[in-house]
Structures are given as structure tokens and as C-alpha cells.
Structure 1
């Protein structure tokens, strides 16, 4: 065990991954500085999730420390390095990162949208599962912000359609809420709701709604802008069956992030078996 692994805790103490299940933890890490990164890494390891979708990552000392700690504890990350050779030089300063444990990675991709989208193909005993992580632009409550979000959303729907495979999990801080969200939020516009509904119309299942059709839950809280469910996990129905999905507010209560973590467990045995992926 490395000194770093001893400092932050180790996956050596965790139970072996259940090969029949995929546990996905999606969390906006709020650009963690070094002082918070080690505590955040400890908490992420404690979830025993096999897939972490981390958003609002920046190429900073804190983010690098967070990812280095996860790698020291046996996780593989996509991208492998935030400043890896060949990464878009003119890309957005914010990154989405996927970290996986206990599953073989058959492919890591970067889409044309650059840093805000990360893609990993996992080989499981039940076939290939594609993980897509995304960090969408925040709602700045201005006309410029609305225009930026609308442009991103149009491109994201096209990229998601190209990336989608029979078994796909799509997660991250999408900075949109669903139609009928409570409380009612006047800061969101028609294109924001259309982005959410278009994802569902494309055959993706909202994992939280699949288990909690009537529950009003939130992942980000503001006295001024009210409580919002802006962190989401979707999957194709062929991926499997959602057996658990909840928002864990521990990250907010302990000041690890200003977002709740979203933890989803998927039983892969009921999914559609697929062979190796041959196209990007």
C-alpha cells in the first residue's frame, strides 16, 4: 500500500465488487481545493461505488490530488490525466471525470465537446456497459447564460445520440430540472425542460424517477434560487434494473461539496447482453 493510500484509506478494506451489480456515484465536487480533496476522496471511497462520475473538476492542485488518491486506491480514471497529451488545448476549464474500480476498461473516449464529457466502456460479466459523464454549464440566470446552455444542450443531444449503446449509463450535473419540478423555478427556460425530456424520449430512463415517481428530492440548495434537482443519472432500459437510487446529503452537511451525491445501484443480470463494442 502506498503512503498516500494509507493516509486516505484504502479499497483494500472494501468488499469485492458484486459482478452482477453496478453502483454509480455521481457528484459535483465543487472544484475541491487540496484542503478538502483528501476528505472528499475518503468519503468517495467509503461509498464503495464501482463507478464515480465527478463533475466541476478543474486542472488544479486539489483536483489532481483527488484523482491521484483515487488512482492510488486502485481506480482508473477517464481522462487518465487532466492535462494528458492530445487533450483539447482550447477546451473548457471544467472537466467531467469517470473513475472506475473492479471492472476492466475496454475503451476511453473524448467526444468532440471536449472536457465536459468523458466516456468509458466497461467490460462486465454481463457484457459491455458504456458510461457517459457530463458537466453541463451552470444556470447563471442571465440571457448570456441561457444562450450558452441552449447551445450546449443542442450539441449534447447530438453527441449523446452518437455515443449511446444498448447498455449505457449517462450521469452528471446537467444543470437542468424536470418539468413539474417542485418548487417551481422561474430561472429555467423552455430549452432546459426540453433537454431533460429529449433525453427521456431518446430511450433513457431517469433512474431516480423509476423508483420514486412521486418523490420531490433535490441535489443543490439555495436560499435565493430554491432547492433544485439538477444532478441526474439516466440509463438505457437494456442496461438492467434499478434496485436503489437516492441523493446522499452527507456531502453538503460535512461541507465536502455544495451538491448532494447521487448513488444508483443497477442489477445487470436483467440487462441485454452485448458483445464487444466495435465502433467509437
Structure 2
């Protein structure tokens, strides 16, 4: 077992389908901050994503990186951890390359389950919300199974870019429909708590911004989320956004880091 009070850092970050050049800068930043677990979303299904996986392997991480099926969309989720990964078979049949899950045996001896996901965006007008709604429903059905991966001493963490905001998001955007808010609510219904809200109940903070308006203002959205099984909420030490990579234009998303005791 790990020493009492030992912590791990679990980071999620949307890398914006990075080019090879930008990916190298992203990897340089990741090596400097050195989280224990990394969930990268919007990872290219081409050479850039494969290069990121190789470089993280060289940096001492174990890797899970699914390949999309022929004809599928080209965005996937990369899961990297310092320690030993045992894949969790989720049984997901809808865009399974957008969700990867594993049981992590950390180098210090602690054990936990991590699932990373990347929900599709609303999509083009001719297919608006079709893929998004189908994937959200599939994940909603899967969440109780993920919660069952936890035990008294093994928390389950679900994190990534949900492409939805919480029901009481500030500011409120009329574009979001009840079924999108229901997806956010499905985590609580399945036994998970929002770790950011656990630490910051009333704070207004955004991880992605839309295009500037004529007056220079930009709408902000809290798209990137992290949840943990409710029975392990007391293990959460901190959950914070890291805005520097977005501000430095390494990506259009901020990273989100959970620090949890194991």
C-alpha cells in the first residue's frame, strides 16, 4: 500500500487536434508539470497522436490509445499513467475510441480507476447533435458500470471534455437543451461528484472561450470536467484549472488537474 497521505495528480487536457509542431510544445509542457495521470482529449488519429503516445512512453508513462474503426471520426482519447495499467472493458459500442478506461496501479502502490472521455461537439447543421446525443446516451448507460469498478479503497475517476456545461453555468446559454444538462446530471445519478464543484462551489471559471465579438468580448464555457465516486469524495485534495497552456496558445482549452489521496 502507498504511504498514508500520498497523493496523485490526474490531469485532463483537450489538445485541439494538435499539429506535430504544436504537439511537441504540448509534450514539453506536460514533461514540466509531470502529472501522474494524463487524459488527453481531441487527440489526432494520425501520426501526431501516435507520436504523443511514443513520447509519453519514453517519459515513463504506460499508455492506452484506442484506434478509431474505419470510417469513424478521427478524434480519440489518450490515457497515460505512471504505473501499471489494466484496461477496463467498458463494452461501449458508440464511438468507443472517444472513451478509454483502466485500473491504475501507481508506482507508490495505490490503486484507482480512471476513465477519460471526449464528447462530440454539436456538429454541422446537417447532423446537428446526432452524434453528440447518441454518445452521451451511451455514456449515461455506462456510468453505473464504471461506478461499480470502485471499491472501499479504490476510487473511480471520470474526466475529460464533456462539451456541455453544468445546469447553473454562469453565464447561461440558451443554446443548451434539457438532454445536455441531463447528461451532466447523470454523473450524480450514477454515484459521482463533480470534484471541481466539490472544491469550488460558487466560483465562476471557464476552460474554453468562443470567438471574440466585435467589442472584443468572448463567451466562456466550463467544458472540461472531473468526477469521482461519491464515497471517495473525502480523498479529494484539490481540483484546479491550469490556464497557462491556453493563454500561451498551446491549445484552446485550459487543463484541469485533480489531486487525490490514494
Structure 2 partner of 1:255: 249
Q: TM-score, normalised by structure 1?
A: 0.81
**Partner residue of 1:53 out of 30, 34, 39:** 39
Tell me the residue number matched to 2:178: 190
Measure the CA separation in 1 of the matches of 2:87 and 2:230. 22
Q: Distance in 2 between matches of 1:185 and 1:133?
A: 26
Deviation at 1:199, TM superposition (A): 0.9
Task: Determine if the alignment matches structure 1 residue 107 to structure 2 residue 100.
Answer: no
Pair 1:233 & 2:233 matched: no
Partner in structure 2 of residue 21 of structure 1? 7
| TM-score, normalization by structure 2 | 0.86
1:208·1:245 contact (CA, 8 Å) conserved in 2?
yes
Unaligned runs of 5+ in 1: 1-16, 269-280
* 1:56–1:94 Cα contact (<8 Å) kept: yes
In the alignment, which residue of structure 2 is the partner of 1:66? Answer: 52
Q: How do 1:49-198 and structure 2 match up within 5 A?
A: 49-79=35-65, 83=67, 88-101=69-82, 103-107=83-87, 109=89, 111-113=92-94, 114-124=96-106, 128-140=111-123, 142=125, 144-164=127-147, 165-166=149-150, 167-198=155-186
Q: Is the 8 A contact 1:185 1:226 kept in 2?
A: no
Residue 186 of structure 1 deviates from its aligned partner by 1.6
Distance 1:56 1:36 in 2: 13
Structure 2, unaligned stretches of length 5 or more? none
Query: Is this contact kept in 2: 1:33–1:61, CA < 8 A?
Result: no
> How far apart are the structure 2 equivalents of 1:140 and 1:89?
20
**Which aligned runs of 4 or more in structure 1 are off by greater than 6 angstroms?**
none
Q: Size of the alignment, in residue pairs?
A: 246
Alpha carbon RMSD of aligned pairs, Å? Answer: 2.3
Alpha-carbon offset, residue 126 of structure 1: 6.6
* Contact in 2 for aligned 1:169/1:236 (Cα 8 Å): yes
Partner of 1:31: 17
Deviations 1:74-110 (A, max 9, x none): 111112xx54xxx634543210111111x22233546
